[in-house]
Amino acid sequence: MERSGDFSAPRRMSKSAYAIFFVKELRRYISLFLILMLLYVFDPEKHRSFMETMEALLYVSVGYLLLATVVAFISYYYKKYYIKNGNLIFIYGLFKNETTIPLHKVQSLRTRRGFMYRLFDMKGVSFDTLASKTAEVELILDYKDWNMLLEKIEQQEQVPEEDKQSVEENVMTKESKSVNDKCILKLSNLNLIKGAFCQNHFKGMVVLLGILFTFYDKILSASDRILNLFIDYVSEHADYTSLSVTVFVMLLLILYVIVMVLWIVKVFMRYYNMEIHMDKAQLFFESGLFTRFSSRFSYDKVCTVYVKQNIIEKYLGCCTVMLKQAFNATEKKDESDVKIYGSNFSGHFLNWWLGKDYASSQTILSAKSGKGMIGYTVRFDIPVALIVCAVLCYCKLYPWLAIPVAYMLISLVKGVWAARRSSITLKDDYVEIHNGKLADVRNYIKYANVEVVCLRQTLFTPFFHRVNLIVSTNGTSFVVRSLKEKEANDVYEYLIGNSRS
């Protein structure tokens, strides 16, 4: 098939892409292969000789490779793409399904380069749009095709002729609030580790539980005999499961260290050698140890800038920055918002997005949460802790009361800090929503990004005259609770009048 340089004719991806499809299919069916191997080859009820076992293993392996080969060929051969009338048209499947993406509506371009991608000098490219409600298109391109396609997209991102007149008055304003010169920010790996250490280490519990559940699933798939042996072993040593408080605390500390290490390793592998290219129109991020991920999106694709600083981050002089984009199917699944750990770059991003004078923007209105925020924060923690205390007292396990009591105290501290921090401030050029429990969190939103504003009364509004204010963009939603009714109404009216202006 002739490969036109302007993408005007339908084309397949280069032949090297097939190898990557093949590896992906091998990974997809690896669990099926292992289960068949364990159930068929090593079935304890059938006594096979060594040669019979090797022959059975060979048959299963050949079937596994043939399945991956055929599925990879179908995925590769029946996928074509081309550009027509400013649209990227993607044809795929035996029944020639078709997806059309307007290039000027591409929200962001995300790429990945794992070992196989680098081996064949290829790049996996995902196209995200706001309107898509299905999984986004991913193409596996060589660098020649990638550069040509990127050039086409950049051309389409220019303002159409019919729209130039309508935005002419806003051009100077936008340029005055953008970074004039190109800037490259590099996050050192030491700062990355420092930033990962400053996070909530129990996020690593997801990694730990994933490993444990995978191991447990393999035990179940291997043989009922193995599971029975494990259960018998636990039953025989049941006496050792009666742990003292000291031993229990030690086990928790060991688990905490394991989780912390797993979390730091996960962050390090994902954000290794992060590099950020910034100019007045776009941001480009690239990071990753074994697989290099990148994300490229325009100035107007960001809906919220999130800046977090907890006690440890404040002491170490760093913060966590997140650029949140509008939701689509891919981002909800993959959580592709850009995160920067362990940096002090929050000022760079806010200067880029809000303008260099954002810090001097005058306050117009503000509203602060009341004590009702404390009750909302502890509404589940305190009752649960009291029930646990009652059960422990009934069982006469008085030393264990220290755990729920400590939990209640921590919950109360979280509630007090949440009430102190919760507020909304309307500036001349943007909205700042302040929240956080043990960490100080500030969310910055432009008036043009506000899509929904809602006032909501609670059961206690008739008694305390406090209401909740909901502010939503196309990618984020915030609830500021326990605001004075009059202040919340003033903020509500101002946001309604200035959103999308």
Phi, then psi, of 139 in degrees rounded to 5: -115, 145
Q: Which residue has the higher pLDDT, 231 or 334?
A: 231
**320 — pLDDT class (breaks 50, 70, 90):** very high
* 140 CB-contact burial (10 Å; exposed 0-12 / middle 13-18 / buried 19+): buried
Q: Is residue 152's pLDDT more than 90?
A: no
> Does the reported pTM lie above 0.75?
no
Are the C-beta atoms of residues 317 and 332 closer than 8 Å to each other? no
- Average pLDDT (253-268) is 83
Are the C-beta atoms of residues 266 and 251 closer than 8 Å to each other? no
What's the sign of the alpha-carbon dihedral 171, 176, 180, 186?
negative
Same domain, 253 and 145: no
Predicted local distance difference test score (pLDDT) of residue 1: 45
Are the C-beta atoms of residues 146 and 193 closer than 8 Å to each other? no
**482 — pLDDT class (breaks 50, 70, 90):** very high
Domain that holds residue 133: 16-156
**368 — pLDDT class (breaks 50, 70, 90):** very high
What are the pLDDT digits (tens) for 429-448?
999 999 998 899 999 999 98
Predicted local distance difference test score (pLDDT) of residue 213: 59
Predicted local distance difference test score (pLDDT) of residue 170: 39
Same domain, 273 and 221: yes
Q: Which residue has the higher pLDDT, 30 or 158?
A: 30
Q: Is residue 497 part of a domain?
A: no
Which of residues 324, 353, 382 is at a domain's end?
Answer: 353
What are the pLDDT digits (tens) for 269-300?
989 999 998 887 788 888 998 888 888 777 77
Cα-based torsion angle of the residue sequence 402, 407, 413, 417 in order, rounded to the nearest 10 degrees: 170
Give SS3 for 478.
strand
- Average pLDDT (202-212) is 57
Same domain, 127 and 203: no
Q: Indicate the average pLDDT of the chain.
A: 80
Q: Is residue 124's pLDDT more than 80?
A: yes
| % residues pLDDT > 90 (the chain) | 28
Q: Is residue 382's pLDDT more than 80?
A: yes
- Average pLDDT (117-134) is 72
How many whole angstroms separate alpha carbon 297 and alpha carbon 108? 4
Query: Token pair for residue 109?
Result: 């371009």
CATH number for the domain including 102? 2.30.29.30
Predicted local distance difference test score (pLDDT) of residue 33: 83
Q: Is residue 444 part of a domain?
A: no
Question: Considering all CA atoms of the chain, what is the largest pairwise distance in Å, rounded to the nearest integer?
Answer: 83
Number of domains within the chain: 2
Same domain, 121 and 266: no
Query: Token pair for residue 135?
Result: 């999984």
Which of residues 353, 370, 405 is at a domain's end?
Answer: 353
Q: Which residue has the higher pLDDT, 356 or 246?
A: 356
Q: Is residue 246's pLDDT more than 90?
A: no
- Average pLDDT (481-485) is 95
DSSP, residue by residue, 128-161: EESS--SPPEEEEEEHHHHHHHHHHHHHHTSPPH
Predicted local distance difference test score (pLDDT) of residue 441: 96
Same domain, 23 and 130: yes
